[in-house]
Amino acid sequence: MLKDWLLESKYTVVFTGAGMSTESGLPDFRSNKGLWKKKDPSKIASTAALNENVQEFIEFYRERVLGVKEYKPHKGHYILADWEKRGILKSIITQNVDGFHQNAGSKKVAELHGTLQKLHCQQCGKEYSSEEYVNQSYYCECGGVLRPSIVLFGELLPELAFQLALEETNKADLFLVLGSSLTVTPANQFPLIAKQNGAKLVIVNMEPTDFDYYADEVIHNKPIGELLEELNVFV
């Protein structure tokens, strides 16, 4: 099934979530060891949190910035980058903010939820490197607080990334979801749009998702890294 479709497909688009990076050492959000099992996202990953409890916000996101600098892409990220070079996949739409797809060499990546690799001032928008957080420097020269350039709950998705994701989804004849619970809108609409356009939809996720029903193939209980290594033998 999936390995044949990868070979037959003219336009494969891969859609990744936090499950793509757990084998690198980063926690996901909603599995039993996920970040949102310990913290309420509305209280920490929101603009309200940024305004009301900025210390906790900074602490939480400094941890995550340190995490994406400490951990590295795993074999699965490198396989996807190699597939792009070989024309087996055309692009990656990711909800992840770790930058691991680009670090592994992927070129066409739509980062729907922004990136932890950059910060910007909440007041004046000036951009900074995330090194500022590493060095415990949290304020802009204008006095505004620095925050990661990720999409907080309640914020709009970056226009360019959203447009690229929509274009790629509309061109896909094979749409491969890797490691997402597909619980967050509007990101979780892309698999549906692909399916409605007649693409084959494959969902690879350790646990069931609410979208499994629409998929042409579902693969549970298999770590993504292992699956990609197995597929890489065939494609």
- Can you give the binding site for ligand APR, defined by CB under 6 A? 17-19, 22-23, 28-31, 34, 41, 95, 113, 179-181, 183-184, 205-207, 223-224
Strand partners, 30: none
Q: Which of 74, 77, 113, 120 is catalytic?
A: 113
What's the half-sphere exposure (Cβ side, CA atoms, 13 Å) at 129?
Answer: 4
Nearer to ligand APR by Cβ, of 105 and 223: the residue is 223
CB-closest chain residue to ligand APR: 19
What's the half-sphere exposure (Cβ side, CA atoms, 13 Å) at 51?
Answer: 6
Strand partners, 89: none
User: What's the rounded Cα separation, in Å, for the pair 26 and 17?
Assistant: 12
Nearer to ligand APR by Cβ, of 158 and 179: the residue is 179
Nearer to ligand APR by Cβ, of 23 and 84: the residue is 23
Chain length of the chain: 235
Query: Does residue 77 carry a catalytic annotation?
Result: no
Report, in Å, the least distance between residue 39 CB and ligand APR. 10
Report, in Å, the least distance between residue 132 CB and ligand APR. 21
Report, in Å, the least distance between residue 64 CB and ligand APR. 11
Question: Mutual orientation of helices 75-85 and 224-234 as an angle, nearest 10°?
Answer: 40
Report, in Å, the least distance between residue 94 CB and ligand APR. 8
* All residues at 6 or more sequence positions from 10 whose CB lies less than 8 Å from its CB, including other chains: 173
Nearer to ligand APR by Cβ, of 127 and 207: the residue is 207
